[in-house]
Structure 1
Amino acid sequence: MHRLAFTKADTAKFISHLDLMRTFQRSFLRAGIHIKHTEGFNPHAFVSIPLPLSVGYSSSCEVLECQVLDTPLEEVPQRMNAALPAGITVQRCYEGVRPVKELYYVNYIVTLEYEAGAPFGAESAIRGLLSRDSLVMEKKSKKAKTGKVEVDLIPLIAKATVEERRDTIALDLILKAQNPGLNPELIVSAIRTYCPDAAPDYAVFHRRAVLDEQFQSWE
């Protein structure tokens, strides 16, 4: 199995997961790179993104899995970048060794933006919120009869740093990636719920790194 490390930025942030998969499938064709296809009556290019990114998020650490058949791996980034839309950039193509189950944490940078500047005391209020022993929020769940389930965010937050920067507050978060994972939007929702005076006008999300259980880069 081969992996493509790629970034997603600018208007490409708004490409949905399914559209992104189709974009890569078409781009492999345009680039003349043959990859493994599924078998059956309607074969299609086998591509997989282990950790789908929410629409509107930028990222510098996305991973796509595929099986390149007859192209030297070092040629793949340049050829793919010539075929991909603006905002998606393949950085390298390599042989995948570590299983996806070892992808344990994700590092997000969440920027809270305030039109009138960060409110007085917002930084300390948010820091206190994330230091609680328990922080319960509701999230959508297809399995629950009510469509929602309660989740305690604290066990899913490995590290959290809060820093005020002029008119914004930056959250540097390391969150559980899967089984279960934590979407950083739930943390922003918790701020709006429990610290309404610190609620941002906007929130910008960036995925910076995917990590293993020892907080080392997962590849």
Structure 2
Amino acid sequence: MPKHRLAFSKADTAKYISHLDLMRTFQRAFLRAGLPIKHTEGFNPHAFVSIPLPLSVGYSSACEVLECELLGEVDRDTVPARMTAALPAGITVHRCYEAARPVKELCWVNYIVTLEYEAGAPFGAERAIQELLARASLVVAKRSKKAKSGQTEVDLIPLIARSTVEERRDTIGLDLVIRAQNPGLNPELVVSAIRSECPDMAPDFVSFHRRAVLDGDFQPWE
């Protein structure tokens, strides 16, 4: 049987559903929607579903992908509506299709990061952040389970393919295309670098939105 993928979005309060809870939610949704999918074998079988690039709690997304294996004769065109009706508000399935490209070809992710300031964006913030992301090197510390100290250093610049900074009245918008995997870059490290290197530009609040997942040629991966 071919492997299938569901393209879905995650917004509003649904963005606070953790990865493990999201997996359980989808497993129950398949049952409610009356869609049989492949299960593992053994005494405690569970639905065979996976999400190639788990989303952090609190992030919204327009481009999530779930992998599964539908069984029997199922009209794939009916799957999005059936699944959306069985899922919590904020999770919308847009498409069901046969998986063709391997996950290893998922190379880049486009994030929109919004930096919010209660008193308005600081003077010169746009330019300062642009100059920060234009550096030849930008090394920050991050947590690591492998390092004895519990932390390791990573240079962000080789992991950022594109960056655009735009100032609005009370916010700074970052349009980032960053490495997805092997190694991947968490956009929170970019914000951490801003707080560390440009403390006067540190935001009061930050929101993250995943807009697109891309292949090595910066084309949509699906």
Common fold: TM-score over 0.5: yes
Matches within 5 A, 1:29-44: 29-44=31-46
Matches within 5 A, 1:62-101: 62-70=64-72, 71-101=74-104
Q: Deviations over 1:80-135 (max 9, x none)?
A: 01100000000010001000000000000000000000000010000000000100
Deviates more, 1:66-75 or 1:91-100: 66-75
2:142 to 131, 139, 149: 139
Paired with 2:161 and 2:9, the residues of 1 have a C-alpha distance of 24
State the SS of the aligned residue for 1:170.
strand
Paired with 1:110 and 1:11, the residues of 2 have a C-alpha distance of 18
Q: Is 1:108–2:111 an aligned residue pair?
A: yes
Given residue 164 of structure 2, which amino acid in structure 1 is its aligned partner?
Answer: T
Counterpart residue number, 2:56? 54
2:213 to 210, 213, 219: 210
Counterpart residue number, 1:16? 18
Gaps of at least 5 residues in structure 2 are none
2:172 to 157, 169, 173: 169
Paired with 1:170 and 1:92, the residues of 2 have a C-alpha distance of 29
Q: How many residues matched?
A: 219
Report the Cα offset of residue 40 of structure 1.
Answer: 1.4
Report the Cα offset of residue 57 of structure 1.
Answer: 0.2
Paired with 1:22 and 1:72, the residues of 2 have a C-alpha distance of 24
Counterpart residue number, 1:27? 29
Counterpart residue number, 1:45? 47
Paired with 1:96 and 1:81, the residues of 2 have a C-alpha distance of 20
Gaps of at least 5 residues in structure 1 are none
Given residue 160 of structure 1, which amino acid in structure 2 is its aligned partner?
Answer: S
4+ aligned runs moved over 3 Å, structure 1: none
2:191 to 179, 188, 193: 188
Report the Cα offset of residue 13 of structure 1.
Answer: 0.5
Counterpart residue number, 1:130? 133
Given residue 103 of structure 2, which amino acid in structure 1 is its aligned partner?
Answer: V
Q: Deviations over 1:149-195 (max 9, x none)?
A: 10000000000000001111000000000000000000000000000
1:198 to 185, 197, 201: 201
Counterpart residue number, 2:162? 159
Pairwise CA RMSD: 0.5
Paired with 1:164 and 1:41, the residues of 2 have a C-alpha distance of 56
> How much identity, in percent, do the aligned residues show?
78
Paired with 1:31 and 1:146, the residues of 2 have a C-alpha distance of 48
